[in-house]
Structure 1
Amino acid sequence: MPLPSVVAAVATAGVVFALVCVVLLAASARARAGASRRAHRLLAAGAAAGALTTAGGIAASIAVQEHIVHTQHEKTSLGSLLALGVAVSSGLLLLGLLTLPGAAPSRPGMLRYLLDALVIAAALWFVGWVAVSEPTRVLGDRTPFWCRPLLIPAAIAALALGVSVITAMRAARPRGPLVRVGTGVTLAAVAGMGLAGGVCQGMTALVDVSAVALPAALGLVAFAARGTDRWPVAPVPEGDDSPALDEELSRRGSAYAFLPMAAMAASALYHLVRGGAFDMVGIVTGSLEGFALVGRQFLALRDVKAYAERLRDREAHFRELAHTDPLTGLANRRGLLSALEDEQAPGAEAVLLALDLDGFKNVNDMRGHDVGDAVLVEVGQRLRMNLRPGDVAARLGGDEFAVLMWARPDEATRAASRLLRVLGGPYEQETGTVFLSVSIGLAGCATVPDVTTLLRNADLALRWAKSHGKNRVERYDVEYDVKLRRHTELEHELRGAIDRDELHLQYQPVVVLPDVRPVGAEALLRWQHPRLGKVGPDEFIPLAEECGMINRLGAWVLHQACHQLSRWLAEGHDVWVSVNVSPRELHASRYVDQVKDALRAHRVPPQRLVLEVTEHAVSTDVEELIRRLGDLRETGVRIALDDFGAGYSSLGQLSRLPIDILKIDHSLVVPQMVRVVVELGHQFGLEVIAEGIGEQRQMAMVVEAGCKLGQGYLSGWPVPAEHFEARLESASSPARVVPVPEQKSDREQNAGPTGRRAHNVGAVDSSREMRQA
């Protein structure tokens, strides 16, 4: 087959293959949308231009071989047309590569890619110019240094190679499809340049190779581009077109900039050493390299400034978040401290208000935390709306708030009273209206050394307000410090009082009226501290409740009282002992077993032990209290309701409570009330003890009312066990029969007006029982 026929066959196959690539890219464009569609359209257009250039190059080569074109001028003209086609094709392919998803994060990112690629391309072009210029001329006489139309496709080929390198280094993962597309674009540009150069020089072999390589490169572009959408592109982090990319690139190395510059410098030095000269092409190329580097550094500097600005904005945002309560939008504790330390106005007095919502826990428990959060949000809104400019409202946590005011204490007190009314108003919620009150503690900073002390003083005033009735404003007083120090010291010392043997019991007689003969005693806890002296029970008992020591103290009192009672019974005294029980002890799960263990350990008959429950316990949970008292009563001990008439219990509750003894509060020992209460207790089948008898007229009043048992300073002060025992000895009689508060038996039913069952065991010979035990 003649050579022109072979060339024609190659041309036909190459053009057909190139057209197939165009069809594939066009079909891919129709199947996609957005930026991906635009990219595939550009690639399809570039492939079409490449197919036409291939066909034109083959045709030009045949014309040269058939001597249709025989002058060098005609060859140069055909090469110029082919170079133009190669430039158009390579340019479209290059734009399509940069537009593919994942190639460049944004348009500014595309500009950076181009500048970085231009650095590489200019260096490659300069090295190539040195290679083909005098005196190097690596191809000798066939060096196409005079073929000016090849400058444009050669530049585009170099730029395509630079873009491919930068894309391989900086594109989003996975980069494989993009790298293959970039390789295809670069090969297509190089093949097109060989096609045009072969026609210019009349090199048929170069044209044939290029005619095969160009369609093959277009095929690589087509198939690689179809695969760019098959893999999910990793999300580009925010600011990926910022110095973050430069940092990533610097971690991988800066060869993309330093190696081209080193190659360019070495080529220029070699060119000068060999005696070469720089013409316009070399000067323009070197200048282009410099401008590319300067432009890239300018963009990097601008990005650094923008990145620093974003960092400042984010820092300010995070600082605001760190000083703001996320629920209410008020300042948090850190924000309040910052306001106290950094924003103090010169010459102004600062006053700190500590606020606490009374009963807010019940809102969360009964209505749910969503309603509680909504109430807290409204509290924050009311605070903001009722403060002056410059005042700082903060939520310290939970239902605790604080307000920093730049005002005098008197003015701040008036403002606090106004807040008391504003925050105490009803809170309308979807589930109903919520009613709350607020307690406020106020402290000034005029005399405090630091912020910590100011916060402590305000919190101390708040605690004082809550402990004295709530829903009030309290200003800090130095006396609070004294009481707080004593409170803290007592709590610390109380924890070791039992181990140090500082506690003891005293016994106040319960006597038969009117002869004042002791038949029982109430065990009362006393604390004698070696340094603090006598500490009253009204001071350390509430403290024990608060710090969780009451259960341990109660257990100690129970065992001590049972131990002493067992000794008196063994000595033949007919006596019983009562022990006070706190609500927390009563609701403890093991308290019934604890009572049983004490009775068993000290061998005390159960009916000789009386457990006194105050009316305050009745006010907490009546149903649970009835169950607990019923369990205790089944052990055989007797139950006394202490301080009856203090204002908690009702007649309905009294009829339901499983009790045996009713102790009348001293406030009811008056002519108008004592007879009614005594008769009421008898109607319920209860023994009645009148408390607080301190005068003869009160004793006469109680006796006249029919009350047989009494207790008070007139009949005996609380005394140590040995003193009470001496009184028992002096009051002893041969009969040894003493009336005691009755406990009714389950088998003996004495139906009173209420219909409740009562127990009656009569007199007890304790010495006989102890001997039997």
Structure 2
Amino acid sequence: MPLPSVVAAVATAGVVFAVVCVVMLTASARAHAGACRRAYWLLAAGAAVAALTCVGGIAASIAMQEHVVHSQPDRTLLGSLLALGIAVSSGLLLAGLLMLPGAAPTPPGMLRHLLDALVIAAAVWFVCWVAVSEPTHLLGDRTPSGCRPLLIPAAIAALALGVSVITAMRAPQPRGPVVRVGAGVTLAAVAGIGLASGVCQGRTLLVDVSAVLLPAALGIVAFAARHADRMPVPPTDPGEGLAIEGELSRRGSAYAFLPMAAMATSALYHLLRGGEFDLIGIVTGSLEGFALVARQFLALRDVRAYAERLRDREAYFRELAHTDPLTGLANRRGLLSALEDERVAGAEAALLSLDLDGFKNVNDMRGHDVGDAVLVEVGQRLRMALRPGDVAARLGGDEFAVLMWARPGEAKRAASRLLGVLGGPYEQEAGTVFLSVSIGLAGCATVPDVATLLRNADIALRWAKSHGKNRVELYDIEYDVKLRRLTELEHELRGAIDRDELHLQYQPVVMLPDVRPVGAEALLRWQHPRLGKVGPDEFIPVAEECGMINRLGAWVLHQACHQLSRWLAEGHDVWVSVNVSPRELHAPGYVDQVKDALRAHRVPPQRLVLEVTEHAVSSDVEELIRRLRDLRETGVRIALDDFGAGYSSLGQLRRLPVDILKIDHSLVVKEMVRVVVELGHQFGLEVIAEGIGEQRQMTMVVEAGCKLGQGYLSGWPVPAEHFEARLESATSPARVVPVPEQKRDRDQNAGPTSRRAQNVRSVDSSHEMRQA
């Protein structure tokens, strides 16, 4: 069989293969959706047109071999038709290539890819034009000068080559499938050009070879496109697409320089050889310049859009950084920014510092979801209650702040209205929530900087919360002085025990009417070398707030037991009472602490009296009863101090396991002693009248039947040695406080009231106290 016949047979088989490729691409199109589906339909359509063109080329080759077509005009016409078909198929294939996933990150990126490819295509076209035109005339007589439509597929082939190069440089990984599709499209365009050129020139072998290469190119496209759906999905966010485009544009930035260098070199060579530039050369050069200018214009527009988006995002994140995400109010950073930007220091403005009273209970009892809902509503109420220009902020937790453009007096009236606005009920799905708010207010006119303004507002808020809450306090320099002293007291109190600055004084409890001491109340005193005498009404609240009260209470208990053991060892019939704070009483290990102190200092339990203030009854009655019962089981006696201050009721008094009632000094002044004494006796309790400072009060207490008294008239608090001297100077034997019947069986050392207590031998309990 002659060679042309073999090539024709192979070409015919190639046409069948091309049809198979069309079917494969059509199946891929049906299996996808969206832009990917359109890409496969375009590839399938381009492959179908290419297959028809290939059939036409083979038919033309057979006609030329059979001498059916032999004139040059007929071949030119057939070649032009084939060139148009190849142009259409190449255009469809190129469009499908650009729409494949991963070929271009975004739709605007497709235009940029086309312009970049146009730069390369124009350069390739120009170099080829210089090579095939006079004077180089590289192809010689084989130059298809008579078939002008070949210029169209030639341009598309050059453009497909450019797209393939740009895709290879910029497509994200894995870019192999798209690059292979681009190579197949380029090869199909080149094969189509050879097909049309062979028909134009009457070269049947060229037609047959091109008819073989064209189906092979379509096969490359079909098989590579099957893997193109694994490419990354284009981003939907424009900002993300711009970021990807900016990243991809930095890859292979030399693409524009190499084509321009090739064009300049070929143009210079063409002129040196004496060549001239015709319309095609001029158009190609102009197209190259247009592509470069358009690409730079798009790049500039992209840069501007990207910069604008960066500014928008920067503004958004700046706003986000200055905004509380829960309430939508400004956060602490936003408030500081407003204070700095508005230059409020020294201006007619005021800063309100707000704190929700009892909000922790809302989170603990209702849950954080309800707490967050309440905070959101607080933010809404603040927005509605403020004037335009005022700045509301949430500083964290349940702390808020308001920058108000008003004088302090006007701001205080507005803050008082906020008490009602924020103190109203909060209706939630879990139930109604009731809260109050404390507000501290500081004026800006007299402060030098923002830091001082914030500090003044916080001091005013702290003062409002420590003086009853649900109120507005305007900053005063006196608050600063007092809080500074409290801070200094807290700092110095932490080392007062180690520096041996604390000591106990004992106020006598006397038998009436002969005023004989039978007991003593141990009172804590603090003598600071620089601050002087610091009263217990000043440092005890500080100790409770800073968590020092338990340590102070333990020290007082051991000191009092140590002194009591010495007095008992010396033969004095006396007992000592120690005050116990509610925080100590609720400590888990307090009962064991009392047992250890009694054991370490060898003190009979009934000689120790623990005084509990009536204020402790108002916190948790059931827990208090359990604690007091545990203490009574150790043998110590319990005294209810400040009875009549207004906390406990008669029902609670009946339930409380106490042994002694200490009448508050206010009842002594109001001459209500008789009622309380009779009440105490009905409950089987001993009664001690406190605050006896006048003879008239002494007479009234004695007439009321009260056997025990305490006050300045019967003795001031004195050091231990002074109280011991008074015990020694007593002319008659001392009496102990009568013990109720239910405790007599536990009091092994207590004899009849007419005789001295049993000597329990001399005990130096300093070692035991150190051990405890």
How many angstroms does 1:149 deviate by?
2.8
Aligned to 1:684: 683
Give the direction of change, closer, same or farther, for the CA distance of 1:741–1:159 in structure 2 (3 Å limit): farther
In the alignment of these two chains, the number of paired residues is 762
Deviations 1:391-449 (A, max 9, x none): 11222222222221111222222212222222222222222222222222221111110
Q: Secondary structure at the match of 2:522?
A: strand
Paired with 1:178 and 1:659, the residues of 2 have a C-alpha distance of 92
Aligned to 2:112: 112
Q: CA contact under 8 A between 1:174 and 1:234: conserved in structure 2?
A: no
Q: CA contact under 8 A between 1:174 and 1:233: conserved in structure 2?
A: no
Paired with 1:335 and 1:115, the residues of 2 have a C-alpha distance of 47
Paired with 1:200 and 1:228, the residues of 2 have a C-alpha distance of 37
Aligned to 2:560: 561
How many angstroms does 1:287 deviate by?
1.3
Q: CA contact under 8 A between 1:742 and 1:759: conserved in structure 2?
A: no
Give the direction of change, closer, same or farther, for the CA distance of 1:191–1:240 in structure 2 (3 Å limit): farther
Q: Secondary structure at the match of 1:739?
A: coil
Deviations 1:450-482 (A, max 9, x none): 111111111211222222222222211111111
Deviations 1:616-663 (A, max 9, x none): 211111122222222222222222111111111122222222222221
Q: CA contact under 8 A between 1:133 and 1:145: conserved in structure 2?
A: no
* Pair 1:669-2:660 in alignment: no
How many angstroms does 1:50 deviate by?
0.4
Matched AA of 1:211: A
How many angstroms does 1:702 deviate by?
1.7
How many angstroms does 1:132 deviate by?
1.7
Larger mean CA deviation between 267-276 and 548-557 belongs to 267-276
Aligned to 1:95: 95
Paired with 1:243 and 1:297, the residues of 2 have a C-alpha distance of 17
Deviations 1:725-752 (A, max 9, x none): 101111164xx56222525547969xxx
Give the direction of change, closer, same or farther, for the CA distance of 1:348–1:604 in structure 2 (3 Å limit): closer
Paired with 1:149 and 1:473, the residues of 2 have a C-alpha distance of 91
Aligned to 1:174: 174
Matched AA of 2:444: C
Aligned to 2:258: 259
How many angstroms does 1:701 deviate by?
1.8
How many angstroms does 1:724 deviate by?
0.6
Aligned to 2:35: 35
Q: CA contact under 8 A between 1:4 and 1:62: conserved in structure 2?
A: no
Aligned to 2:191: 191
Matched AA of 2:122: A
Instruction: Report percent identity of matched pairs.
Output: 85
Alignment of 1:443-462 (within 5 A): 443-462=442-461
Q: TM-score, normalised by structure 2?
A: 0.94
Q: Secondary structure at the match of 2:229?
A: coil
Q: Secondary structure at the match of 2:353?
A: strand
* Pair 1:284-2:267 in alignment: no
Deviations 1:126-183 (A, max 9, x none): 2222222233333344344564332211111111111122223333443332222222
Aligned to 1:709: 708
Alignment of 1:614-763 (within 5 A): 614-670=613-669, 673-731=672-730, 733=732, 738-742=735-739, 744-745=741-742
Aligned to 1:18: 18
Q: CA contact under 8 A between 1:512 and 1:709: conserved in structure 2?
A: yes
Paired with 2:744 and 2:731, the residues of 1 have a C-alpha distance of 32
Larger mean CA deviation between 305-314 and 504-513 belongs to 305-314
Paired with 2:234 and 2:596, the residues of 1 have a C-alpha distance of 72
Q: TM-score, normalised by structure 1?
A: 0.94
Deviations 1:18-56 (A, max 9, x none): 111112222222333222222221111111110011111
Paired with 2:261 and 2:454, the residues of 1 have a C-alpha distance of 67
Q: CA contact under 8 A between 1:10 and 1:212: conserved in structure 2?
A: yes
How many angstroms does 1:257 deviate by?
2.3
Larger mean CA deviation between 22-31 and 289-298 belongs to 22-31
Paired with 2:275 and 2:42, the residues of 1 have a C-alpha distance of 41
Q: Secondary structure at the match of 1:629?
A: helix
Q: Secondary structure at the match of 2:393?
A: strand
Deviations 1:652-696 (A, max 9, x none): 222222222221111122565212211222222222211111112
How many angstroms does 1:91 deviate by?
0.3
How many angstroms does 1:275 deviate by?
3.3
Matched AA of 2:461: L
Matched AA of 1:596: K
Aligned to 2:769: none
Matched AA of 1:206: L
Aligned to 2:532: 533
Give the direction of change, closer, same or farther, for the CA distance of 1:246–1:469 in structure 2 (3 Å limit): closer
Runs of 4+ in 1 over 6 A off after TM superposition: none
How many angstroms does 1:534 deviate by?
0.7
Q: Secondary structure at the match of 2:451?
A: helix
Give the direction of change, closer, same or farther, for the CA distance of 1:50–1:704 in structure 2 (3 Å limit): same
How many angstroms does 1:510 deviate by?
0.9
Q: CA contact under 8 A between 1:14 and 1:215: conserved in structure 2?
A: yes
Paired with 2:485 and 2:31, the residues of 1 have a C-alpha distance of 84
Q: Secondary structure at the match of 2:578?
A: strand
Aligned to 1:489: 488
* Pair 1:609-2:608 in alignment: yes
Aligned to 1:401: 400
Paired with 2:617 and 2:721, the residues of 1 have a C-alpha distance of 34
How many angstroms does 1:359 deviate by?
1.8
Q: CA contact under 8 A between 1:87 and 1:156: conserved in structure 2?
A: yes
Deviations 1:2-22 (A, max 9, x none): 455434422321221111111
Alignment of 1:159-558 (within 5 A): 159-230=159-230, 233=233, 235=235, 238-242=238-242, 244-250=244-250, 252-344=251-343, 349-558=348-557
Paired with 1:247 and 1:33, the residues of 2 have a C-alpha distance of 28
Structure 1: gaps (5+ residues): 750-757
Q: CA contact under 8 A between 2:345 and 2:449: conserved in structure 1?
A: no
* Pair 1:769-2:760 in alignment: yes
Give the direction of change, closer, same or farther, for the CA distance of 1:236–1:393 in structure 2 (3 Å limit): closer
Q: Secondary structure at the match of 2:662?
A: strand
Q: CA contact under 8 A between 2:610 and 2:638: conserved in structure 1?
A: yes
| CA RMSD across the alignment | 2.4
How many angstroms does 1:348 deviate by?
5.6
Paired with 2:234 and 2:176, the residues of 1 have a C-alpha distance of 13
Paired with 1:441 and 1:140, the residues of 2 have a C-alpha distance of 98
How many angstroms does 1:523 deviate by?
0.8
Give the direction of change, closer, same or farther, for the CA distance of 1:258–1:744 in structure 2 (3 Å limit): farther
Q: Secondary structure at the match of 1:242?
A: helix
Q: CA contact under 8 A between 1:743 and 1:761: conserved in structure 2?
A: no
Give the direction of change, closer, same or farther, for the CA distance of 1:227–1:464 in structure 2 (3 Å limit): same
Give the direction of change, closer, same or farther, for the CA distance of 1:513–1:249 in structure 2 (3 Å limit): same
Larger mean CA deviation between 47-56 and 73-82 belongs to 73-82
Deviations 1:366-410 (A, max 9, x none): 222222222222222222112221111222222222221111222
Paired with 1:766 and 1:9, the residues of 2 have a C-alpha distance of 136
Paired with 2:372 and 2:345, the residues of 1 have a C-alpha distance of 37
Q: CA contact under 8 A between 2:53 and 2:82: conserved in structure 1?
A: yes
Larger mean CA deviation between 628-637 and 302-311 belongs to 628-637
How many angstroms does 1:227 deviate by?
2.7
Aligned to 1:752: none
Q: CA contact under 8 A between 1:519 and 1:574: conserved in structure 2?
A: yes
Q: CA contact under 8 A between 1:173 and 1:234: conserved in structure 2?
A: no
Matched AA of 1:503: L
Alignment of 1:105-144 (within 5 A): 105-144=105-144
Paired with 1:727 and 1:456, the residues of 2 have a C-alpha distance of 52
Q: Secondary structure at the match of 2:760?
A: helix
Q: Secondary structure at the match of 1:433?
A: strand
Q: Secondary structure at the match of 2:641?
A: strand
